[in-house]
Structure 1
Amino acid sequence: MAIFLVGLTRTGPLWDSSRPMEEQADWSAHASYMDGLVDAGFVILGGPLADEIRVVLAVEAGSADEVRATLGRDPWSGTHLVVDTIEPWTIRLDAREARR
Protein backbone atom coordinates (compact mmCIF):
# COMPACT_ATOMS: atom_id res chain seq x y z
CA MET A 1 0.00 0.00 0.00
CA ALA A 2 1.59 3.30 -1.10
CA ILE A 3 1.39 6.38 1.10
CA PHE A 4 1.47 9.80 -0.51
CA LEU A 5 0.76 13.32 0.64
CA VAL A 6 -1.90 15.49 -0.95
CA GLY A 7 -1.40 19.22 -0.99
CA LEU A 8 -4.20 21.67 -1.57
CA THR A 9 -3.12 25.13 -2.67
CA ARG A 10 -5.17 28.14 -3.64
CA THR A 11 -4.64 31.30 -5.58
CA GLY A 12 -2.55 33.93 -3.83
CA PRO A 13 -2.65 37.71 -3.62
CA LEU A 14 -1.03 38.37 -7.01
CA TRP A 15 -3.33 36.00 -8.92
CA ASP A 16 -5.23 37.91 -11.60
CA SER A 17 -8.60 36.16 -11.90
CA SER A 18 -9.26 37.93 -15.21
CA ARG A 19 -6.41 36.00 -16.88
CA PRO A 20 -5.98 32.28 -17.54
CA MET A 21 -3.26 30.39 -15.72
CA GLU A 22 -0.87 30.44 -18.65
CA GLU A 23 -1.08 34.25 -18.82
CA GLN A 24 -0.24 34.89 -15.16
CA ALA A 25 3.02 36.69 -14.35
CA ASP A 26 6.02 34.32 -14.08
CA TRP A 27 4.06 31.43 -15.63
CA SER A 28 7.13 30.06 -17.43
CA ALA A 29 9.22 29.97 -14.25
CA HIS A 30 6.42 28.26 -12.30
CA ALA A 31 5.72 25.74 -15.07
CA SER A 32 9.42 24.90 -15.38
CA TYR A 33 9.74 24.40 -11.62
CA MET A 34 6.69 22.14 -11.47
CA ASP A 35 7.85 20.13 -14.51
CA GLY A 36 11.11 19.56 -12.64
CA LEU A 37 9.20 18.21 -9.64
CA VAL A 38 7.36 15.80 -11.93
CA ASP A 39 10.62 14.71 -13.58
CA ALA A 40 12.15 14.12 -10.13
CA GLY A 41 9.19 11.92 -9.12
CA PHE A 42 8.10 14.31 -6.35
CA VAL A 43 4.78 15.30 -7.96
CA ILE A 44 2.78 12.26 -9.04
CA LEU A 45 -0.45 14.02 -10.10
CA GLY A 46 -1.46 17.65 -10.07
CA GLY A 47 -3.80 20.23 -11.46
CA PRO A 48 -6.48 22.81 -10.74
CA LEU A 49 -9.96 21.91 -9.58
CA ALA A 50 -12.95 23.11 -11.59
CA ASP A 51 -13.14 26.39 -9.66
CA GLU A 52 -9.59 27.21 -10.87
CA ILE A 53 -8.94 28.72 -7.45
CA ARG A 54 -7.68 25.51 -5.84
CA VAL A 55 -4.97 23.14 -7.05
CA VAL A 56 -4.46 19.56 -5.86
CA LEU A 57 -1.03 17.91 -5.86
CA ALA A 58 -0.37 14.28 -5.01
CA VAL A 59 3.28 14.03 -3.99
CA GLU A 60 5.67 11.38 -2.79
CA ALA A 61 7.61 12.89 0.10
CA GLY A 62 8.80 12.04 3.58
CA SER A 63 6.76 14.63 5.44
CA ALA A 64 4.42 17.58 5.19
CA ASP A 65 7.38 19.82 6.09
CA GLU A 66 9.28 18.51 3.06
CA VAL A 67 6.28 19.30 0.84
CA ARG A 68 5.99 22.82 2.26
CA ALA A 69 9.72 23.45 1.81
CA THR A 70 9.70 22.15 -1.76
CA LEU A 71 6.60 24.11 -2.75
CA GLY A 72 8.10 27.13 -0.99
CA ARG A 73 10.84 27.23 -3.64
CA ASP A 74 8.25 27.56 -6.44
CA PRO A 75 8.48 31.03 -8.05
CA TRP A 76 4.72 31.37 -7.44
CA SER A 77 4.95 30.49 -3.73
CA GLY A 78 3.16 33.09 -1.64
CA THR A 79 2.35 35.27 -4.61
CA HIS A 80 0.21 33.25 -7.03
CA LEU A 81 -0.22 30.09 -4.94
CA VAL A 82 -0.58 29.62 -1.19
CA VAL A 83 -0.51 26.21 0.53
CA ASP A 84 -3.79 25.48 2.33
CA THR A 85 -3.35 21.94 3.60
CA ILE A 86 -1.09 18.93 3.28
CA GLU A 87 -2.56 15.59 4.29
CA PRO A 88 -1.32 11.98 4.20
CA TRP A 89 -3.17 9.88 1.63
CA THR A 90 -3.21 6.11 1.81
CA ILE A 91 -3.84 4.52 -1.58
CA ARG A 92 -6.07 1.47 -1.19
CA LEU A 93 -7.36 1.23 -4.75
CA ASP A 94 -4.85 1.28 -7.58
CA ALA A 95 -5.67 -0.04 -11.03
CA ARG A 96 -1.96 -0.18 -11.83
CA GLU A 97 -1.41 -2.74 -9.05
CA ALA A 98 -4.42 -4.83 -10.14
CA ARG A 99 -2.95 -5.21 -13.64
CA ARG A 100 0.37 -6.65 -12.40
Structure 2
Amino acid sequence: MDGGVMAVFAVTTGKGPNWEHSKGIREQAGWDEHAAFADGLVDRGVVLIGGPIGGRNQDDVALLAVRCADEAELRAVFAADPWAASGVLRIKEVRSWTLWLDGRQAR
Protein backbone atom coordinates (compact mmCIF):
# COMPACT_ATOMS: atom_id res chain seq x y z
CA MET A 1 0.00 0.00 0.00
CA ASP A 2 1.40 3.35 -1.01
CA GLY A 3 -0.22 5.57 1.63
CA GLY A 4 -2.74 7.03 -0.84
CA VAL A 5 -6.50 7.03 -0.37
CA MET A 6 -7.63 3.60 0.71
CA ALA A 7 -11.07 2.12 0.20
CA VAL A 8 -12.67 -0.52 2.39
CA PHE A 9 -14.13 -3.70 0.93
CA ALA A 10 -16.25 -6.52 2.31
CA VAL A 11 -14.60 -9.72 1.09
CA THR A 12 -16.19 -13.14 1.26
CA THR A 13 -13.91 -16.12 0.78
CA GLY A 14 -15.01 -19.58 -0.26
CA LYS A 15 -13.69 -23.11 -0.34
CA GLY A 16 -11.43 -23.73 -3.30
CA PRO A 17 -11.15 -26.92 -5.37
CA ASN A 18 -8.49 -28.34 -3.02
CA TRP A 19 -10.47 -27.78 0.20
CA GLU A 20 -10.65 -31.09 2.07
CA HIS A 21 -14.30 -31.32 3.11
CA SER A 22 -13.63 -34.03 5.68
CA LYS A 23 -11.35 -31.67 7.64
CA GLY A 24 -11.94 -28.54 9.71
CA ILE A 25 -10.54 -25.14 8.81
CA ARG A 26 -7.43 -25.46 11.00
CA GLU A 27 -6.79 -28.96 9.64
CA GLN A 28 -6.55 -27.85 6.00
CA ALA A 29 -3.20 -28.28 4.26
CA GLY A 30 -1.02 -25.21 4.76
CA TRP A 31 -2.99 -23.79 7.71
CA ASP A 32 0.11 -22.42 9.47
CA GLU A 33 1.33 -20.63 6.35
CA HIS A 34 -2.13 -19.21 5.62
CA ALA A 35 -2.50 -18.03 9.23
CA ALA A 36 0.92 -16.32 9.14
CA PHE A 37 -0.03 -14.61 5.87
CA ALA A 38 -3.34 -13.40 7.32
CA ASP A 39 -1.62 -12.15 10.50
CA GLY A 40 0.77 -10.19 8.26
CA LEU A 41 -2.18 -8.54 6.50
CA VAL A 42 -3.53 -7.45 9.88
CA ASP A 43 -0.11 -6.11 10.89
CA ARG A 44 0.07 -4.10 7.63
CA GLY A 45 -3.43 -2.65 8.12
CA VAL A 46 -4.86 -4.45 5.09
CA VAL A 47 -7.31 -6.62 7.04
CA LEU A 48 -9.25 -4.58 9.58
CA ILE A 49 -11.37 -7.41 10.98
CA GLY A 50 -12.26 -10.86 9.77
CA GLY A 51 -12.89 -14.47 10.52
CA PRO A 52 -14.91 -17.57 9.70
CA ILE A 53 -18.53 -16.94 8.82
CA GLY A 54 -21.53 -19.16 9.26
CA GLY A 55 -24.50 -18.96 7.01
CA ARG A 56 -26.66 -20.45 4.39
CA ASN A 57 -23.91 -21.47 2.00
CA GLN A 58 -21.67 -24.40 2.95
CA ASP A 59 -19.04 -23.01 0.58
CA ASP A 60 -18.45 -19.82 2.61
CA VAL A 61 -15.25 -19.62 4.67
CA ALA A 62 -14.70 -16.08 5.98
CA LEU A 63 -15.87 -12.48 5.89
CA LEU A 64 -13.21 -9.76 6.00
CA ALA A 65 -13.11 -5.97 6.08
CA VAL A 66 -10.15 -5.13 3.84
CA ARG A 67 -8.43 -1.79 3.16
CA CYS A 68 -6.80 -1.40 -0.27
CA ALA A 69 -6.55 1.27 -2.96
CA ASP A 70 -8.90 -0.64 -5.26
CA GLU A 71 -10.19 -4.11 -6.08
CA ALA A 72 -7.25 -4.88 -8.36
CA GLU A 73 -4.78 -4.28 -5.53
CA LEU A 74 -6.95 -6.35 -3.19
CA ARG A 75 -6.96 -9.30 -5.58
CA ALA A 76 -3.20 -9.01 -6.09
CA VAL A 77 -2.61 -9.00 -2.32
CA PHE A 78 -4.78 -12.06 -1.75
CA ALA A 79 -3.25 -13.94 -4.70
CA ALA A 80 -0.13 -14.26 -2.52
CA ASP A 81 -2.04 -16.19 0.16
CA PRO A 82 -0.62 -19.73 0.27
CA TRP A 83 -4.17 -21.08 0.39
CA ALA A 84 -5.14 -19.16 -2.75
CA ALA A 85 -2.00 -20.34 -4.54
CA SER A 86 -2.72 -23.98 -3.63
CA GLY A 87 -6.45 -23.87 -4.38
CA VAL A 88 -7.65 -24.33 -0.80
CA LEU A 89 -9.34 -20.91 -0.70
CA ARG A 90 -10.74 -18.43 -3.22
CA ILE A 91 -12.27 -14.99 -3.17
CA LYS A 92 -16.00 -15.32 -3.71
CA GLU A 93 -17.16 -11.73 -3.58
CA VAL A 94 -15.70 -8.25 -3.22
CA ARG A 95 -18.03 -5.36 -2.39
CA SER A 96 -17.18 -1.76 -1.59
CA TRP A 97 -18.07 -0.91 1.99
CA THR A 98 -18.45 2.52 3.55
CA LEU A 99 -17.89 2.10 7.28
CA TRP A 100 -19.99 4.62 9.17
CA LEU A 101 -20.11 2.82 12.49
CA ASP A 102 -17.25 1.26 14.43
CA GLY A 103 -17.65 0.70 18.15
CA ARG A 104 -14.37 -1.16 18.62
CA GLN A 105 -12.41 2.01 19.47
CA ALA A 106 -15.05 3.39 21.84
CA ARG A 107 -14.76 0.49 24.28
| Shorter-chain TM-score above 0.5 | yes
Deviation digits for residues 33-71 of structure 1 (CA, Å, limit 9, x no counterpart): 111001111101111111563211111111011110000
Aligned alpha-carbon RMSD (Å): 1.9
* 1:59 partner SS: strand
Structure 1 residues not aligned, in runs of 5+:
none
Aligned partner of 1:59 among 66, 73, 89: 66
Taking the aligned partners of 2:29 and 2:88, their CA distance within structure 1 comes to: 9
Aligned partner of 2:93 among 82, 85, 88: 85
Identity among equivalent positions (%) equals 37
Query: TM-score, structure 2 length as denominator?
Result: 0.81
Query: TM-score, structure 1 length as denominator?
Result: 0.86
User: After superposition, where does 1:17-96 map in structure 2 within 5 Å?
Assistant: 17-51=21-55, 53-54=59-60, 55-77=62-84, 79-96=87-104
Please report how far the alpha carbon of residue 22 of structure 1 lies from its aligned counterpart in structure 2 after TM superposition. Answer: 0.9
Taking the aligned partners of 1:77 and 1:87, their CA distance within structure 2 comes to: 19
- Relative to structure 2, which stretch is displaced further, 80-89 or 44-53? 44-53
* Cα gap change, 1:34 to 1:23, in 2 (>3 Å): same
**Alignment coverage as a number of residue pairs:** 97
Asked whether the 8 Å contact 1:3–1:91 carries over to 2, the reply is no
